[in-house]
Amino acid sequence: MVELKARDYGFEDDFVASGEIEEVIDKFRAHMEEEHGIDYSREAIMQFILRKQGM
């Protein structure tokens, strides 16, 4: 299970996506697009996850 928080990436909101990797990627991408107007690629979000896990 992984977790990404919008606040960890400089956004002033309490959004948290947690679950399996693919689910987190989809939720985080949707939130960033809808709430912040940023279209992160799946690869970019995967890099967020890998960096957070220290890989």
Which pLDDT belongs to residue 32?
97
Residue-level pLDDT at 55: 66
User: Residue 14 CA to chain centroid, in angstroms?
Assistant: 12
Contact between residue 3 and residue 24 where contact means Cβ atoms under 8 Å apart: yes
pLDDT computed for residue 52 by the predictor: 87
Question: Is residue 5 within 8 Å of residue 16, measured between CB atoms?
Answer: yes
pLDDT per position as a tens digit, 1-55: 999 999 999 999 999 999 999 999 999 999 999 999 999 999 999 999 999 888 6
